[in-house]
């Protein structure tokens, strides 16, 4: 944070001891009226930085401490969702109350001499007003989040928001502030409230790896510069592709959902409504679950008769997705080589064609892609196009494994277990969670690596709920060594041997087409024979 610098007195260092320097100071002194007292200026600078920093980084606590001084209440350094009842942080209430008081005092000073207000003070004042407008309406925005329409329909409190914004920022004779666009400020406030809620509740955990992940997602939405985002970048963030990497079961889809649901949505003051809701703005497509033809159809759409089964014209996700929407491509590392070329054109030129058509269509939304593969290795082997990777990597987020999280904060195991138990056990959730956590610690121990990550922990809790035990997959059956050992011992059935060998070849070939070529089998047969659990082990996920 920049330290507030008071004006020097006559003969101070800034005058240089000369008459010209002194005269210059006197001129500036009469032209610029300081808006803040020293105490208020320290507070305002801190809140200005607080309003524009990443709330999931330690900077937040630093600025809160500066702003509140002795009134600051220490708390958990990691701001994370807990499965207990939400209690509003006490510092938040104090900051909002004092910000209201300071803004009111500064406004009164501006009214006395609007043209003479110090430009530097006005920039801090503007940030402080934004903070106050958000603080006044944060509960109303939360009500929109949980309402059935999720932000659709006429928003009644916009008029009050716009009146407050005009009262503080649109003062006759005031120079040094940008023109007021209350609808844009309203849309930014709604986006900030929505983004915080989704990042906070979808990406859980009190460990530093989880905190860094939340901070990375926040930055993916707003960049590192909130002021620049509010000025201009809000309109272009959809052009940047986000690539989410990490092992299976680490929450890559939750990251994609948090980003998709947190995008900027313009507010139309004439209709009194946001242009779109957010809950249906994400269009997911799992690329590992479909054949290349079906992927192409789902993504690009098709014309009637363009292939067997195409009985009618059909738009794809790229066409259905609005400019405020997001297409989520899960398992991008599985994409067929021919489709990689077509996707590259979409990301590069933002245009595409339906299957069987020559009409050029434009894609205006955002792409979030995810993979559990090592794309550097895939590029080195020729299975993934380098030029496509460099269209995906403008914004990369890595999800931490469960073992990384628990290594940093072992107590997080109990929080995860409680969250999972609440989905399964209803009113008995706390008892089930307590019993399951004790069993896990006694039988699996601290050193268990959770190769299946949170997804495995979910199944562990489910197993415990049903049978009061959980038996992890043995690590001895890993990779091609287990295949050769099983062949030597004659312990596999013919079906098991075929399945394991198909899985091994597919893991090395990188696509069903190449695996089918090497095996001399039909691609669909190979896909049906691949053992997903063994495939994860072969890719080094344990």
Q: What is the pLDDT of residues 73-93, one digit of tens each?
A: 998 777 777 756 566 788 999
pLDDT of the residue at 30 = 45
**pLDDT above 90 coverage of the chain, percent:** 65
Task: Indicate if 385 and 408 belong to the same structural domain.
Answer: no
Which of the residue ranges 80-94, 252-266, 397-411, 445-459 would you say has the lowest mean pLDDT? Answer: 80-94
Classify burial at 86, counting beta carbons within 10 Å of its beta carbon; exposed 0-12, middle 13-18, buried 19 or more: exposed
The answer, yes or no, to whether residue 40 has pLDDT greater than 60, is: yes
Last residue of a domain, one of 365, 398, 431: 398
Task: Indicate if 394 and 409 belong to the same structural domain.
Answer: no
Task: Indicate if 58 and 44 belong to the same structural domain.
Answer: yes
pLDDT in tens, 129-138: 999 999 999 9
**Band of the pLDDT at 104, cuts 50, 70, 90?**
very high
Task: Indicate if 526 and 430 belong to the same structural domain.
Answer: no
- Alpha-carbon span 225 to 242, nearest angstrom: 18
| Residue 22 covered by a domain | no
pLDDT in tens, 371-384: 999 999 899 989 99
The answer, yes or no, to whether residue 447 has pLDDT greater than 50, is: yes
How many Cα atoms within 13 Å fall on the side-chain side of residue 536?
A: 19
pTM: 0.81
Q: Which of 304, 308, 282, 283 is nearest to 293 (CA)?
A: 308
pLDDT of the residue at 147 = 79
| Residue 311 covered by a domain | yes
Other Cβ atoms within 10 Å of 349 Cβ, number: 11
Task: Indicate if 187 and 302 belong to the same structural domain.
Answer: no
Task: Indicate if 46 and 193 belong to the same structural domain.
Answer: yes
Count: domains in the chain: 4
Residue carrying the six token digits 């049906």: 528
| Residue 23 covered by a domain | no
Task: Indicate if 242 and 199 belong to the same structural domain.
Answer: no
The answer, yes or no, to whether residue 39 has pLDDT greater than 50, is: yes
User: Domain range for residue 467?
Assistant: 402-472
Question: Is 162 within 8 Å of 188 (Cβ atoms)?
Answer: no
Higher model confidence: residue 33 or residue 169?
A: 169
pLDDT of the residue at 3 = 40
Question: Is 218 within 8 Å of 56 (Cβ atoms)?
Answer: yes
CATH number of the domain that 291 lies in? 3.40.50.300
Question: Is 367 within 8 Å of 241 (Cβ atoms)?
Answer: yes
Question: Is 120 within 8 Å of 168 (Cβ atoms)?
Answer: no
Mean pLDDT of 225-236: 96
SS3 303: coil
Classify burial at 459, counting beta carbons within 10 Å of its beta carbon; exposed 0-12, middle 13-18, buried 19 or more: middle
- Alpha-carbon span 512 to 524, nearest angstrom: 8
Task: Indicate if 418 and 502 belong to the same structural domain.
Answer: no
pLDDT of the residue at 86 = 61
Higher model confidence: residue 403 or residue 475?
A: 403
Question: Is 258 within 8 Å of 198 (Cβ atoms)?
Answer: yes
Task: Indicate if 523 and 460 belong to the same structural domain.
Answer: no
DSSP 347-380: HHHSEE--BT----EE--SEEEEEESS-HHHHHH
Question: Is 55 within 8 Å of 218 (Cβ atoms)?
Answer: yes
pLDDT of the residue at 85 = 54
**Band of the pLDDT at 492, cuts 50, 70, 90?**
confident
Last residue of a domain, one of 233, 266, 300: 233
pLDDT in tens, 332-364: 999 999 999 999 999 999 999 999 999 999 999
Question: Rounded mean pLDDT of the chain?
Answer: 87
| Residue 156 covered by a domain | yes
pLDDT of the residue at 150 = 66
How many Cα atoms within 13 Å fall on the side-chain side of residue 163?
A: 5
pLDDT of the residue at 479 = 46
Question: Is 130 within 8 Å of 185 (Cβ atoms)?
Answer: yes
Last residue of a domain, one of 233, 252, 267: 233
Task: Indicate if 46 and 114 belong to the same structural domain.
Answer: yes
Relative to beta strand 361-362, strand 267-268 is: unpaired
| Residue 17 covered by a domain | no
| Residue 106 covered by a domain | yes
- Alpha-carbon span 262 to 219, nearest angstrom: 11
Residues 6+ apart with CB under 8 A from 511: 334, 336, 337, 383
Token pair for residue 110?
């501006």
Q: How far is CA 316 from CA 286, 291, 306, 326, 363, in A?
A: 14, 15, 14, 13, 11
Vertex 140 angle, CA 138 and 144, to 5°: 110
The answer, yes or no, to whether residue 367 has pLDDT greater than 90, is: yes
pLDDT in tens, 137-175: 999 999 998 876 667 788 999 999 999 999 999 999 888
The answer, yes or no, to whether residue 62 has pLDDT greater than 60, is: yes
pLDDT of the residue at 19 = 40
Which of the residue ranges 23-27, 375-379, 411-415, 508-512 would you say has the lowest mean pLDDT? Answer: 23-27
| Helix residue spans in 80-207 (DSSP H) | 90-112, 119-146, 158-169, 182-202
| Residue 366 covered by a domain | yes
Q: How far is CA 52 from CA 219, 357, 420, in A?
A: 11, 47, 34
Task: Indicate if 352 and 461 belong to the same structural domain.
Answer: no
pLDDT in tens, 394-409: 999 999 999 999 999 9
pLDDT of the residue at 1 = 39
Task: Indicate if 209 and 129 belong to the same structural domain.
Answer: yes
Helix 453-467 to helix 429-443 angle (10° resolution) is: 110
| Residue 96 covered by a domain | yes
């Amino acid at each position: 944070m920049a330290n507030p610098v008071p004006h020097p007195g006559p003969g101070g260092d800034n005058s240089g001891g000369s008459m010209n320097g002194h005269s210059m100071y006197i001129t500036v002194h009469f032209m610029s009226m300081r808006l803040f007292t020293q105490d208020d200026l320290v507070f305002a600078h801190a809140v200005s930085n607080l309003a524009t920093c990443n709330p999931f980084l330690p900077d937040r606590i630093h600025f809160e401490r500066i702003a509140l001084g002795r009134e600051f209440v220490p708390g958990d350094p990691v701001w994370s969702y807990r499965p207990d009842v939400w209690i509003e942080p006490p510092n938040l209430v104090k900051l909002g109350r004092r910000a209201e008081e300071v803004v009111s005092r500064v406004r009164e000073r501006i009214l006395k001499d609007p043209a003479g207000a110090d430009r530097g003070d006005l920039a801090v004042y503007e940030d402080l007003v934004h903070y106050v407008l958000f603080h006044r309406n944060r509960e109303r925005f939360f009500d929109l989040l949980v309402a059935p329409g999720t932000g659709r329909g006429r928003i009644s409190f916009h008029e009050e928001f716009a009146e407050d914004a005009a009262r503080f920022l649109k003062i006759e004779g005031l120079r040094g502030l940008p023109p007021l666009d209350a609808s844009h400020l309203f849309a930014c406030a709604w986006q900030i409230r929505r983004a915080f809620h989704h990042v906070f509740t979808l990406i859980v955990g009190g460990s530093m790896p989880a905190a860094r992940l939340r901070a990375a997602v926040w930055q993916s939405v707003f960049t590192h510069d909130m002021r620049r985002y509010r000025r201009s970048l809000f309109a272009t963030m959809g052009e940047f592709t986000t690539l989410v990497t990490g092992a299976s079961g680490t929450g890559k889809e939750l990251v994609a959902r948090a980003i998709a649901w947190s995008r900027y949505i313009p507010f139309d003051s004439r209709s009194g409504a946001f242009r779109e809701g957010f809950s249906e703005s994400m269009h997911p497509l799992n690329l590992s679950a479909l054949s290349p033809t079906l992927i192409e159809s789902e993504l690009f759409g098709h014309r009637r008769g363009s292939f067997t089964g195409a009985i009618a014209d059909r738009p794809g996700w790229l066409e259905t997705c609005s400019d405020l929407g997001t297409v989520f491509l899960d398992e991008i590392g599985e994409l067929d080589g021919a489709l990689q070329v077509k996707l590259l054109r979409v990301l590069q030129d933002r245009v595409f064609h339906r299957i069987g058509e020559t009409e050029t269509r434009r894609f205006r939304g955002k792409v979030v892609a995810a993979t559990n593969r090592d794309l550097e290795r895939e590029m080195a082997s020729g299975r993934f196009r380098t030029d496509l990777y460099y269209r995906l990597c403008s914004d990369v987020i890595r999800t931490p494994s469960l073992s990384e999280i628990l290594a940093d904060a072992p107590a997080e195991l109990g929080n995860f277990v409680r969250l999972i138990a609440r989905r399964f056990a209803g009113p008995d959730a706390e008892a089930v969670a307590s019993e399951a956590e004790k069993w896990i610690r006694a039988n699996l121990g601290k050193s268990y690596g959770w190769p299946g990550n949170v997804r495995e922990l979910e199944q562990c809790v489910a197993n415990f709920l049903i049978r009061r035990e959980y038996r992890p997959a043995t690590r001895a059956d890993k990779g091609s060594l287990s295949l050769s050992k099983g062949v030597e011992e004659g312990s596999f059935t013919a079906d098991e041997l075929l399945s394991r060998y198909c899985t091994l070849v597919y893991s090395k070939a990188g696509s069903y087409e190449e695996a089918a070529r090497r095996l001399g089998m039909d691609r669909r047969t190979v896909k049906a024979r691949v053992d997903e659990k063994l495939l994860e082990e072969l890719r080094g996920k344990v």
